[in-house]
């Protein structure tokens, strides 16, 4: 998968409370959630985000609450991929589970500026900053996570496990 989009840049420790504040968690409708995505850290985000755009942030992106509504809101807002120096543990799992592409790439994350155009090739594991003419290698997923992604996500994997178990 290849994505190309404009960077929305944030710092470190972007928590899930600012990604989608708890006051909007009375629904799990992606479109509803997307209306308030990033509201408490960047009130302009919702009005400026374009389909395919890319969130870039420093360390510990998605820390705090386990709300899966956070990656759901980001994905529904039109963001194609999130690049960060590191991700908080639960957010990392949730992003994989909800099909929000994420990339760990500290060099690309620290050098990208708001408004830069990036090209991300998930298959090749590369991030290209078209504005700055630079290319970076992203961290590969651990093999087990790659297997989950390849099998179409956790619930498909679990279904296959259960079928296997009932046969044996």
Partner 1 sequence: MGSTITEKILARAAGRDEVHAGDIIEAKVDLALANDITAPLAIAEFEKAGFTKVFDPARIALVPDHFTPNKDIKAAGQAKKMREFARRHEIVNYFEVGRVGIEHVLLPDTGMVAPGDLVVGADSHTCTYGAVAAFSTGMGSTDFAAAMAWGHVWLRVPESIRFVYSGRPGAWVTGKDLILHTIGLIGVDGALYQAMEFSGEAIRTLSMDERFTMCNMAIEAGGKNGIVGFDEKTTQYLQARPEGSRARTAGRVFASDDDAEYARVLEIDASAVPLTVSKPHLPSNAAAAADLADVTIDQVVIGSCTNGRIADLRQAAAILRGKKVHANVRAIILPGTQQVCLDAIADGTMQALIEAGCAFSTPTCGACLGGHMGVLAEGERAVATTNRNFVGRMGHPGAEVYLASPYVAAASALAGHIATPEDVGAGKGGPR
Residues that bind partner 1 (CB under 8 A): 13, 15, 17-18, 21-23, 25-28, 39-41, 59-60, 63-69, 72, 86, 88-90, 93-94, 97-98, 142, 144, 148, 153-156, 158-159, 161-162
* Cα separations in angstroms, 156 against 56, 88, 153: 29, 24, 6
- Among candidate residues 53, 41, 50, the one with its CA nearest the CA of residue 15: 41
Nearer to partner 1, 22 or 140 (CB): 22
Nearer to partner 1, 90 or 107 (CB): 90
Minimal distance, residue 50 CB to partner 1, in Å: 24
Minimal distance, residue 71 CB to partner 1, in Å: 8
Nearer to partner 1, 44 or 115 (CB): 44
Minimal distance, residue 90 CB to partner 1, in Å: 6
Nearer to partner 1, 25 or 107 (CB): 25
Asked if 63 and 13 count as a contact pair (C-beta separation under 8 A), the reply is yes
Minimal distance, residue 7 CB to partner 1, in Å: 21
What distance in Å separates the CA atoms of residue 138 and residue 154, rounded to the nearest whole number?
23
What distance in Å separates the CA atoms of residue 111 and residue 113, rounded to the nearest whole number?
6
Residue found under tokens 């989950």: 148
Asked if 16 and 65 count as a contact pair (C-beta separation under 8 A), the reply is yes
* Degrees, nearest 5: CA angle 150-82-75: 75
Nearer to partner 1, 74 or 118 (CB): 74
Minimal distance, residue 5 CB to partner 1, in Å: 25
């Amino acid at each position: 998968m290849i994505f190309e989009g404009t960077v929305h840049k944030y710092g470190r420790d972007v928590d899930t409370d600012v990604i989608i504040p708890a006051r909007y968690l009375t629904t799990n409708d992606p479109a509803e959630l997307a209306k308030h995505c990033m509201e408490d850290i960047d009130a302009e985000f919702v009005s400026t985000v374009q389909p395919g755009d890319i969130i870039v942030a420093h360390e510990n992106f998605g820390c705090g609450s386990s709300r899966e509504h956070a990656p759901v809101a980001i994905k529904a807002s039109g963001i194609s991929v999130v690049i960060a120096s590191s991700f908080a543990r639960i957010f990392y799992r949730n992003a994989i589970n909800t099909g929000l592409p994420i990339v760990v790439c500290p060099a690309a994350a620290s050098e990208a500026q708001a408004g830069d155009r990036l090209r991300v090739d998930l298959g090749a594991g590369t991030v290209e900053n078209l504005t700055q003419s630079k290319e970076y290698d992203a961290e590969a997923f651990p093999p087990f996570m790659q297997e989950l992604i390849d099998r179409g996500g956790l619930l498909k994997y679990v279904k296959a496990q259960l079928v296997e178990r009932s046969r044996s």
